[in-house]
Structure 1
Amino acid sequence: MYRIFIVEDDDKIAGILKETLDKYGYEVGRAQRFHDIKNEGMQWKPDLILLDINLPRFDGFYWCRQIRTCSNVPIIFLSARTGDMDQVMAIENGGDDYLTKPFHLDVVLAKIKGALRRAYGEYAQAPSARDEWELNGLRLDRSKNSLVYTDNRVELTKNETLLLDCLAAKFGSIVSREELLEALWDDVDFVDDNTLTVNVTRVRRKLEELGLPGVIETVRGQGYRLSTKWGNPDHE
């Protein structure tokens, strides 16, 4: 039984979500301490978090960043904000998906099922020889969602790990945006194409933190690929 933690200060919306998820067999908890979402949520040990943006004290972006300091649990934002920038900020701050209010409960359930399958179920990364791979000194540990280069380490979200793993599996070859969307989100009909762009930007930024700019190349109109040049002394 998967555990879902709802962070929503509107009692009516939270109640509807809880009632629906209870009906489908999930174990559901609701946030009570809106000044202490991180600790309350982690004590509850959820498998997925539904997170509103407009909250008392601090907004959902803040709490998502706080949760990401200690957990890669899937986080789906729920918000009345419909602007593209809000969705970009949700992904930038560590969210995995975004739903706008008012929402259809069928869509919420589809998003939840998809996120749980990717994280823990049939689409989760199975133990294999590729759980940890190395390319030109760059090492990705899929089991820990971490990336290491020259003794420097950065932590990745689940989707960032999947993205980098897909590109590495076709090292030097182009991976289409469609392939990446299907790998990261099985329910692609509900995914804004801009969400993929944001995830690519985040992975690029983390590679730059390791001293590896330009590793992910954009092939206009086709997709992305990993450059074959990094780690090469002649690469400028």
Structure 2
Amino acid sequence: MLETSTTQDATTAPKTTDSEFAAPAATPQRWDGYRDIHKALRLFMCDTLTRVGRADPGDAQEVGLALAQVGELMDLCELHVRDENAFIHPALERVQPGSAARIAAEHVTHLESIASLRDLAAFAANARDDARGAALFRLYHALALFVAENFEHMHAEEATHNPVLWAHYSDAELVAIEHALVASIPPEAMVKALHWFLPAMNAPERLAMLSGMRAGMPAPAFQGVLDIARRTLAPADHAKLLRGLDTAAQPA
């Protein structure tokens, strides 16, 4: 039987401490490189879990779309882990050795879980008749555990890593780290991620992101971003974004 590595023994699995639950996950006065990507991942995870749970085993197209979304989620999760390992953890270790150790260990487990979830999705894709429903249910349960662990994991990063970064780096230095990280992301992956970033953000966050993108992108590329916003945002949110961009574009 395929099992994901998310089913750890309760005595050895890392747990979020009471102090981490009590700690503020973000401070508006400081740059928070975790905020936007974690919002996007939380939305993507919840939507994907729900989609797998409601997929009709007798509808091959519906199942195929749900499993394709699982694959895209795993792609983004894997990219996110590798980006944090390559850019955020070295910044932490430079100023406070050992500060990234716990999360780095959890990343190893997450990559193992991602591989197992891909296997479960492939098994469900190849299953037929009654076996498909059972395979989808196994995937649903394994994905639920993965999502639950990642929610705790992301909060731990926000509550324990941000204070270290804020204590040792200026906002300008943190922005430079994030820009280097973003520059390493393949364009196709960035486009896919925007489908989850934009609806996950609140209106001021969304306007700030797109204002920055408009300032740094060719007009045709930015139009592509606006097209994603039109497809992914509720009508009221989309209208608010366009009003904000129009206002920001007005001369002082």
**TM-score normalised by structure 2 residue count:** 0.26
Answer with 1 or 2: which has the greater Rg.
2
The structure where helix makes up a greater share of residues is: 2
Higher relative contact order (CA 8 A, sep 6+): 2
Q: TM-score, normalised by structure 1?
A: 0.28
Higher strand content, 1 or 2: 1
